[in-house]
Amino acid sequence: MSDLITPSIYHRSIDGIELVKRREGKRMTQGQLAKRCGVSQGFISQLERPGVWEVTLKRAESLNRILGNNDDAEDEDCQI
């Protein structure tokens, strides 16, 4: 599986296809992920388009906490 987040100093690049795979792997809808992260479902939908999208460091880390491979991540909410 490829990396979801590519590091940079001020932002992170998110692979849209990988985001979909991770979200679906957690059996979450876009709406459920958006609610946990405090963003709109439309924002998640935009990030899930094919391509690489830049988001703030804090938002990327929050998404990674929810969708990462850490089993404890299921109970955490995004802190955006």
The CATH code that applies to domain 5-70 is 1.10.260.40
pTM comes to: 0.73
Q: What is the percent of the chain where pLDDT is above 70?
A: 75
Dist. CA 62–CA 3, nearest whole Å: 15
Helical ranges in 1-80 per DSSP H: 16-25, 30-37, 41-47, 57-67
Residues 62-72: tens digit of each pLDDT? 898 899 854 44
3-class SS of residue 54 = strand
Task: Calculate the average pLDDT of the chain.
Answer: 81
